[in-house]
Amino acid sequence: MYLGGIHFSINKSFGNLQLVPEQKGLRLVYTPLEGGKEDKTLAGYLNLLLPLDAVGGLWATARAFLYAVESLDENVILHAKNGEERSDILVKLYRDKPKGAQGKLSGEETCWLRLVTGRTEEERRRIKLGPRDLLCLELACNSVMILAGVEKQHNPKEAS
C-alpha cells in the first residue's frame, strides 16, 4: 500500500485496487485479499505504472461512463519488451451493452475495469465499478494530468 500522498482506493471483497497519481503516470496497485487481509505474496498482486500518454484516454472514458454518455471502451496495451519474462499487459475500461430501447444507454449498464497480465485466472483481474469507483478513477487520472503539468512532464512530441 502506498502512503504519504494522494491516492484513491477501490475496495472489493476479493482485493483492493489503489490508484496512485504520479508525475509520469497512474500507478495501479492491486492487492488480493485472503481472509479479509491484503497479501502481496498472493498470485494476482500487481504494481504497474500506466504511462502518462495512456492516462488521458482512461480519464475521458471514465468520465463518459460516470455521466452515462456514449463512449467506446478504453483499451491500453503495454507491450512486453524482447527478452522480458512477462507478457503484454491489458488495461481495459468497458461497460455492458446498452440496456435501453434501440440500443441506447439506460444508465443501468455495469462498468468494469479489467487488468490482464497473463493467462492464469489470478492474472486476469476483473473489477466491477460503481459510480464512486468511476469517480475515483476519473479524479486519479485528473490528478496525474495536473502533476504532469506542474512537474514539466507534459512534453508532447510529434511521432515520426
Residue found under cell 512530441: 157
Regions of the chain with pLDDT less than 70 = 1-4, 83-85, 154
3-state helix, strand, coil in the chain (%, to 5): 25, 35, 40
Q: Phi then psi for 45, rounded to 5 degrees? A: -60, 140
> pTM of the prediction?
0.87
The Cα–Cα gap between 133 and 136 comes to 5
Does residue 67 lie in a domain region?
A: yes
Domain of 115, CATH number, reads: 2.30.31
**pLDDT tens-digit series, residues 99-146:** 888 888 888 899 999 999 988 888 899 999 999 999 999 999 999 999
List the domain range (segments joined by +) for residue 64. 8-150
Residue-level pLDDT at 60: 95
Does residue 50 lie in a domain region?
A: yes
First to last CA, the chain: 39
Does residue 136 lie in a domain region?
A: yes
- Tally of structural domains, the chain: 1
Q: Which residues of 113-143 are buried (b: 16+ CB within 10 A; e: fewer)?
A: bebbbeeeeebebebebeeebbebbbbbbeb
Three cell numbers written together for 25: 503516470
Does residue 131 lie in a domain region?
A: yes
Residue-level pLDDT at 101: 87
Does residue 69 lie in a domain region?
A: yes
Helix 52-66 and helix 131-150, axial crossing angle in degrees, nearest 10: 150
